[in-house]
Every structure is written in C-alpha cells, then in structure tokens.
Structure 1
Amino acid sequence: MPSKFKNVSKCVVHGCKSKDVVCHRFPNPRSDMLGLIEWIKIVGLDNMDPNIVYKNKFICAMHFTPDCSSPGTKRLNANAYPCINLPTTNISIPKTIVSPNNLAVVSNNDVEHNMDLDESFMSGFNVMNEVLTVS
C-alpha cells in the first residue's frame, strides 16, 4: 500500500534525498518576512528572490526537531526553524527552548544583513535598502 505522504515537492536542503516525508512551505513573507529570510539563510538560498522561494521551494520534515510541531499534528509551530540534518554552515541557527508554559526562539547572535528586494514584493514594508536586524 503506497504511503499517503508523497514527496512530490523536492526538499531544497542540499544533499537531502528524503522520500515519503511531509514537506513544509517557507514562512509567508506577508506575515513573517524575518522568519522567511532566516530560513532562506539557514538552507543557503541567499541568492534567490524570497517571493520565488516562498512560492516554489519546500523543506522536508527531516530538518525539524519533534518539538517544532504540536503533538498529534504535522503542522509546524510559528517559531519552528530547520535545524537538523543540514549542510555545514557558519550561520547561527536559533535554538528552540521548550518551557513549561510556552515555546520561545532564542538566537545566539544578532544577525545583520542587507537585502535587495523587489519594491513590488515589499509594498507596505519600510525596509528597502536598509539593514535588517534579526534577533
């Protein structure tokens, strides 16, 4: 009997050959631009347009810890970051800390970078040609 989770969307993580694994979309740029940018950096797609990444690229569940999703569901928590089975990088990946009351994301360092984004993609945001600080 075939698995109900077909990996029809290839995982963007370099070297990942996962099959029959749930794939997740990148964070929505309209509601979580900083999360999207962080995910893009983590998987090494810095040279791609964030809009293209959001619409066309996926990351499989093999790159998330079990605490990145709620028990009994495959849906990622809002503060989930891909953090396991990744190629070696110099990027500081936020650590997910589980507390009795809630989940929180903590970053080791503040990350600063410049982004050139298409103005039409970023309409409504005041970040054009500025340094973004992600904590």
Structure 2
Amino acid sequence: MAVFLAAAALIVAIIALTRTDATPTYSEAQRSEAQARLCDRYKLAAQAVHLETTGPDGDVALARIANTNGALILATAASDPALEVKFRDAAQALATSYQTVTAMGTMGKSDPQFVAAIDDSNAKYQVMRDLCGD
C-alpha cells in the first residue's frame, strides 16, 4: 500500500511540475498592437455608423447595415486576447449597443425605448472615443 501511495504522490508531483500556466502573458508590443488594431477597427465602424445614421438622406436600411456591420467589426476586434480588459469591455459594450439600436429601429424615432437605446449607444461610443481618440 505504501508503494502505491508513493507512486501516486510521484505522479501528482510530476503533473504539477509539468502543468503550464493557463493564463498567457503578452508583451507590451503585443498589447500595444492589439490596442491599435482595435482602435483602427473602432474608427472605421464608428465612421460608417455616423455617416449612415445621421446623414440627410436618412436611408434606414443603410443605417441598420452600418450598425450591424459595426457591431461585427467591434466584436471581432475585441476578441484579441492581448487586449487590455478596459478596451475589450468598451468595444463589446459598443457592439452590443449597435445591435440593440438595430433591433429597436422598427419602433420609430420618437419611441422612448428607441431614444434610450440611441442615448446608450452614444454614451458607449464616447467611452471608446476617450480610449482610442478621434
């Protein structure tokens, strides 16, 4: 029995020593590159959303496409594991707000819930703008 326990203890010790850390670490350059990529993608998405949702022509279909595409662009860029949490969370929050605006768009411009969704999206846009600049 003692031999069995000693062998089991040896196996556990070997496994513990060879186990890799589950949380990867990233260099400052990798984190900086991830942030730059996210901010570039955010600026592209935000510009398209702004142009299609505030333009004088007011094409609802193009506005919804811009919001949907903007959400996808942000969600994809936010998936980079080298990103700092504050950048990832802000991008995901803005992506979700773009999706909400698109889904609620059928309610009409004067609907209080739609107006609240727009206000929320604008606030989340401002957070990303503060993080990434103009």
What TM-score comes out, normalization by structure 2 length? 0.22
What TM-score comes out, normalization by structure 1 length? 0.22
Q: Which has the higher helix share?
A: 2
Structure number, greater radius of gyration: 2
Q: Which has the higher strand share?
A: 1
